[in-house]
Amino acid sequence: MSDLQRLERHACFGGWQDVYRHHSASLGCAMNFGVYLPPQARQRPCSVLYWLSGLGCTEQNFITKAGAQRRASELGLILVAPDTSPRGAAVADDPAYDLGQGAGFYVNATQAPWSAHYRMYDYVVEELPALIEAAFAVRPGLRGVAGHSMGGHGALVVALRNPGRYRSVSAFAPIVAPSRVPWGEKAFSAYLGSDRTTWAAYDAVALVQQATGERLPLLVDQGEADEFLGRELHPEWLQQACALVGHPLTLRRHAEYDHGYYFVASFIDDHLDWHARALAG
């Protein structure tokens, strides 16, 4: 905790939008994360919603484009938005936008050279929440997770793999079956190797089919004008898997909306309300 450094502070809807940097033991590099502290955090512990961003994003995309702070201020939600991958000169990278820095895919890589740093699953599930819960006044155990695109994939995966750790989960335009689409096949081949049986641990459709015990309700929003809808996203696969096993899913499809943050900003209040209800306990 001694290396936690605040890089930015902005007054926002009665609270603070901050950006911090720290050294990540999981990733072996410095990492940034944004944290919105609502005004209620001055008087009492608050519940936390973790936001996982998509390909090519940093912690800045969500905090500057989603417009989530106003509603989070009203609801008393802390919002935490980490970067999407390890970064730095010593961290492996690739010239393409969909592999390497900015494209961590929220997995623990097992293949060189990626395995030296790319352990985003451990970072978002274990290390970052432990840091947040030590540094800020948060309500113990009351966590939600949400995300967009690659981050929607990450949110679904970490919630489905960790029953009881999260009280709520939602996603915008998630990659629901990365094992079966070009983005995921490229990333998983590099990070996890050629044995596709290992990929299922990071595939939401596969995880829904394997889930046991209490099933956490899923909220998914998808734009019908999304340029990646038929190639990379396929929300109907998640819908079919949930129907097959009786997993609760609210899938909302919106005409004319594309893949970007205008779409996220249009429906972010609904997602914050969804999480606030689940985290009220």
Catalytic residues: 149, 226, 259
DSSP secondary structure string, 57-112? --HHHHHHHS--HHHHHHHTEEEEEE-SS--STTS---SSTTSBTTB-TT-B--ST
User: Which residues have CB under 8 Å from 162's CB, separation 6+?
Assistant: 125
82 and 52 in contact (C-beta within 8 Å)?
yes
52-to-25, 139, 244 alpha-carbon distances in Å? 19, 20, 27
- Enter the tokens of residue 235: 């929300």
175 and 233 in contact (C-beta within 8 Å)?
yes
Say how far apart CA 234 and CA 198 lie, in whole Å: 21
- Enter the tokens of residue 179: 């094992």
- Enter the tokens of residue 212: 């046991």
Say how far apart CA 147 and CA 154 lie, in whole Å: 7
50 and 146 in contact (C-beta within 8 Å)?
yes
Phi, psi at residue 142, to the nearest 5°?
A: -100, 85
Say how far apart CA 47 and CA 203 lie, in whole Å: 27
Give the strands of the sheet with 138-148, arranged side by side. 5-12, 15-24, 29-37, 77-82, 46-52, 138-148, 168-172, 218-223, 249-254
